[in-house]
Structure 1
């Protein structure tokens, strides 16, 4: 009986954490499974690129053209990806992981886990996902320009600087949500 009461007290003491964890995991797993189902309709072994990745590559091309770069895109002949060309030279490949959907899922699950009101939460998730998408397209366009000039810096540019940028933006959005919009910080400070 003592162990049960101890467990009950422990669960009550950490109830906000467990609620956060359950909400986060439910949405994260649900969205991830949904996204995997979406991807399963494309045959990566036959170099079939998913529609979201194609759309991102197309938007990168338009961004590069807007920046007065001679850019074009074409399907990669050896894998499920889209090549981005500058001056008729293939510079980068946009693969499924470049479309930022997995980052958007992580972002949305975290915001949902700290949710208070549905409308405010939904609006923040939609605005955040749009911002992540726009910044991701700009990020890929800038990587393309940078790698065209400095191909030897691929690891630094693609593996360090630009991931820090996109994850940094997501982190700032999380902090803003928790401190300014979720109401969670006010609840815990008021206790």
Structure 2
């Protein structure tokens, strides 16, 4: 058993760092979410900001759009051209995706300055692309409501997770300790 632990030590350290950073960030995020009262249908601040920025992005694409609080759920109703197209819920704000991204980068260590910079730039990129993604989903649902499952369930999740995967590939191959060792 000791032989395998020694042999797979780098992988085990990666898993431990990933798991601990993921759990730590998720617990912090959960504390944040718990500060909002579900019984009052409160929507967390980050989700509200994402909703407003999505609405503004839709208007940038020359469609009328507005948000209304959902009367029965802690979410916001998103309208395009006065047609209700989607609910903006906590899961739409990409924070859980950003947490996953950060945990991977931390686990696949690199120079601390590059790590902080890459996490910052990558998180902002994921956030911005997510707002654009939601706006495009809303416009697509307005134009093609019959394709809701394909748009919301397949194409657009593939887009956001594809971006995260590409960021991970860039991190591992260009900035991590592994990439630096590979150059030598």
Residue 21 of structure 1 aligns to a residue whose secondary structure is: helix
**Cα gap change, 1:21/1:188 in structure 2, threshold over 3 Å: closer, same or farther?**
farther
Number of the residue aligned with 1:160: 154
- TM-score normalised by structure 1 residue count: 0.92
Gaps of 5+ in 2: none
Q: Is the 8 A contact 1:74 1:83 kept in 2?
A: yes
Question: What's the C-alpha RMSD, in Å, of the aligned pairs?
Answer: 1.3
- The aligned length equals 184
Out of 102, 107, 110, the residue aligned to residue 108 of structure 1 is 102
Out of 8, 15, 26, the residue aligned to residue 32 of structure 1 is 26
**Residues of 1 paired with 2:172 and 2:132: CA distance?**
26
Residue 157 of structure 2 aligns to a residue whose secondary structure is: helix
**Residues of 2 paired with 1:78 and 1:150: CA distance?**
26
Gaps of 5+ in 1: 1-6
Out of 61, 69, 72, the residue aligned to residue 66 of structure 2 is 72
- TM-score normalised by structure 2 residue count: 0.96
Matched, 1:173 2:177: no
**Residues of 2 paired with 1:124 and 1:116: CA distance?**
10
Matched, 1:82 2:76: yes
Matched, 1:130 2:120: no
Residue 116 of structure 1 aligns to a residue whose secondary structure is: coil
Q: How does 1:4-23 map to 2 (within 5 A)?
A: 7-23=1-17
Greater alpha carbon shift after TM alignment, 71-80 vs 160-169:
71-80
User: Alpha-carbon deviation of 1:46?
Assistant: 2.5
Number of the residue aligned with 1:4: none
Residue 164 of structure 2 aligns to a residue whose secondary structure is: helix
Number of the residue aligned with 2:49: 55
Q: Is the 8 A contact 1:45 1:79 kept in 2?
A: no
Q: Is the 8 A contact 2:67 2:77 kept in 1?
A: yes
**Residues of 1 paired with 2:134 and 2:68: CA distance?**
16
Structure 1: 4+ residue segments shifted above 6 A? none
Residue 14 of structure 2 aligns to a residue whose secondary structure is: helix
Greater alpha carbon shift after TM alignment, 36-45 vs 124-133:
36-45
**Residues of 2 paired with 1:89 and 1:162: CA distance?**
21
